[in-house]
Amino acid sequence: MKNEFAILETPLPSPLREETADTGEGVATLIKRCAKLMNNLEKETEKAEKWKKELFLELLEVVDSLERTLSQAEKLPQQAATEKWVGHVRATAHQLSWLLKRRGIVPFDAMGKEADPGLTEIVGEMERDNCMDDEVVEEVGKGYLYQGQLLRRARVIVARKKEAENHDKNSRY
C-alpha cells in the first residue's frame, strides 16, 4: 500500500529549503505568518467597505440637495436662463443617480405605503382625511438600498387623521 503522507516526507525544493533554513523559520511559523496576513487583509477589506459606504452616504446628500434645488427652481417664474440652469442641474442629478445605480445603490419608494420603521424615519406628520394613519404622504429624503441591503432609511412625513375624527372613532358615545 502506498504511503498517503509521502508528500510530507519529501524535502522542500532547494530555494525554499534554503530560505527557511536562512531565516530559521519552520513551516508552522510560515503558516502563522500567512494566517496573520490574511487576518490583516480581512480587516483592511472591512475598513474599505466602511469607507465606501460613508462615501455613498455623502453622495446621497448631494443628490438630495440637487433634487430640493430642482423642486424649488420649478416653482419660480420660467425664464430662459432659469430653464437652462434647471436643465443643467437636472442633468447633474441624473448623472449622479446613474453613477450610484451602477455601483449598486438604488432608491426605493415609500410613498403611499405604511411607514416601516426598518425602512423609514418619520420626520413629520401631516393631517390628512383621505389617508390612513402612518401612511407616507411625502418623502423628504429617499431611502436607498446598497446591493439589496438597506443603506439609508427614507425620511418621510406621514398622515395623521384629525384629532376630532380619531376621538369620535375611539369614543362609544
Nearest-angstrom CA–CA distance, 107 and 96 = 12
132 and 67 inside one domain = no
88 and 65 inside one domain = yes
Structural domain contains residue 35? yes
59 and 11 inside one domain = yes
Domain encompassing residue 15: 7-103
Q: What pLDDT score was predicted for residue 54?
A: 85
Sheet holding 154-160, edge to edge: 120-127, 154-160, 136-141
* Domain finish residue from 86, 103, 120: 103
**Residue 140, domain CATH:** 2.30.22.10
Q: What residues form DSSP beta bridges with 145?
A: 106, 150
Which residue bears the cell 437636472? 90
- pLDDT tens for residues 154-171? 999 999 987 755 555 554
Q: Which of 160, 60, 46 is nearest to 105 (CA)?
A: 60
27 and 91 inside one domain = yes
130 and 87 inside one domain = no
Structural domain count of the chain = 2
3-state secondary structure string across 77-97 = CCCHHHHHHHHHHHHHHHHHH
Nearest-angstrom CA–CA distance, 162 and 127 = 6
| Residue 71 burial by Cβ neighbours in a 10 Å radius (0-12, 13-18, 19+) | exposed
Structural domain contains residue 1? no
85 and 114 inside one domain = no
Do residues 104 and 146 touch, judged by C-beta distance below 8 A? yes
- pLDDT tens for residues 62-83? 888 788 777 777 777 767 667 7
* Domain finish residue from 82, 103, 124: 103
- pLDDT tens for residues 92-136? 888 888 888 988 999 999 999 999 999 999 999 999 888 899 999
